Copies of this chain bind each other. A is one copy, B any other.
Amino acid sequence: MKRTFLKLSALVAGVALFAQPALAAAPAADAVGGGTAYILNTLLFLIGGFLVMWMAAGFAMLEAGLVRSKNTSTQCLKNIGLYSIAGLMFWVIGYSIAYPGFAEGSLGLFGIAGFPYAMQGVGEADLDTGYSVASDWFFQMVFCATTASIVSGTVAERVKIVPFFIFVTVLTGIIYPVVVSWEWGAGYLDSVHGFSDFAGSTLVHSTGGWAALMGAIIIGSRAGRYGADGKVNVFPGANIPLATLGTFILWLGWFGFNGASQLAMGTVGDVSDVSKIFVNTNMAAAGGVVVAIILTQILYKKADVTMALNGALAGLVSITAEPLAPSVGQSILIGGIGGAIVVFAVPMLDKFKIDDVVGAIPVHLFAGIWGTMIVPLTNSDATYGGQFVGVALTAVWVSLASAVVWYALKLTIGVRPSEEAEIGGLDHAEIGVEAYPEFARTT
């Protein structure tokens, strides 16, 4: 998802088109006109955009299924709220920071293109770019929202609504867009280090993961989660089919996430690449599922369904940094290792008393790093050194910035509800609407 590449290819296509009358008839039969290519490129953004928008519902269902029923309404509210805030903030300032138009020769660490982002008027299509700018903005916006969705799962069940939404505001307005500017905005990581992250294993998923990790540490674990004797108290999710639905929604949305990150389908080559990405994305997820099932069956003599779901997601995150270059077999392997990471990392986090309610840190952060670091295996344009710089710089910036915001919130308005409110459930304390008011509870 590198906007700079697209412009170049559009330019080349434009040259070819103007030269067309001089060509023989035969090649022209396969050529696609500039207007048609513009429409098809835009259509890819629109389809990809609505598929990724749908991932917001996927995160909402996944999290609603994995929290306890006393916090389910809160989780629903947080998810629809964060998606809305992400849209508003990405318009007010986010997009302008993400695509600042760095000057030639600048270091490309921070810039801003004016705000709120002045999208073109109706019909004033930007023909030079080869797609509608509004369609591009829409597609980029839903990625921003995805980053925020990752955080809400980890810190569920013990953060108040208002500080959570304030954190989302900063994350989607500043923290995430800065990371994007370094790479897709043709900044430091792209121009200096040749960092490669096709659809955002690092830019989206690790960013969300670091922000979530800082939240989990600074907010602390849920009341009663870790006993004084080191015992981990399991708080099972209240609704496994909802979590399953959420995972399927995310899997579906990921075809848009990775596929449309090709950024163009107005040529035979581009649409073939999008097709390849669909296959690889699917197979990486399949690999993650199968590995997670086999491992849990071996380790625990049970096929843990939540591990299988997270295995799918880890497979998807793993292939996101490079869904085009690998062969199908390589994709299965990359995704399968992602699934294994989840199976081992989930209990490991509990060892460190890091309380990640839905397993978002293993899925998005650890598998995101894995996917990013393995890119050079299949894409010779990337280097292990360049990939490491991208991972490390994102880690430093997002962790620091997130920690500052979470701490500031903790010291001012406070991030946690009272222990009484937490034990009674956030739905009662913060929302006033129970998720399942009629169902008698065993706990």
Contact = CB atoms under 8 A, between A and B. Distances in A.
A284 to B, nearest CB: 10
Given A29-B17, A435-B239, A303 B244 contact: no
A268 B80 contact: no
Interface stretch (A127-135, A349-357, A402-410): A127-135
A329 interface: yes
A395 interface: no
A289 B83 CA distance: 10
B35 A26 contact: no
B438 A443 contact: yes
Copies of this chain held together in the complex: 3
A60 interface: yes
A51 interface: yes
Contact of A57 (B161, B245, B435): B245
A432 to B, nearest CB: 4
Contacts of A138: 275, 278-279, 282
Contact of A276 (B18, B134, B141, B273): B134
A424 to B, nearest CB: 14
A328 B91 contact: yes
Interface in A394-443: 430-443
A285 interface: yes
Contact of A51 (B50, B287, B442): B50
Interface in A59-88: 60-61, 64-65, 68-69, 72-74, 76-77, 79-81, 83-85, 87-88
Given A77-B308, A304-B431, A39 B438 contact: no
9 contacts: A42-B275, A54-B252, A73-B305, A76-B241, A76-B305, A88-B286, A134-B278, A138-B275, A438-B442
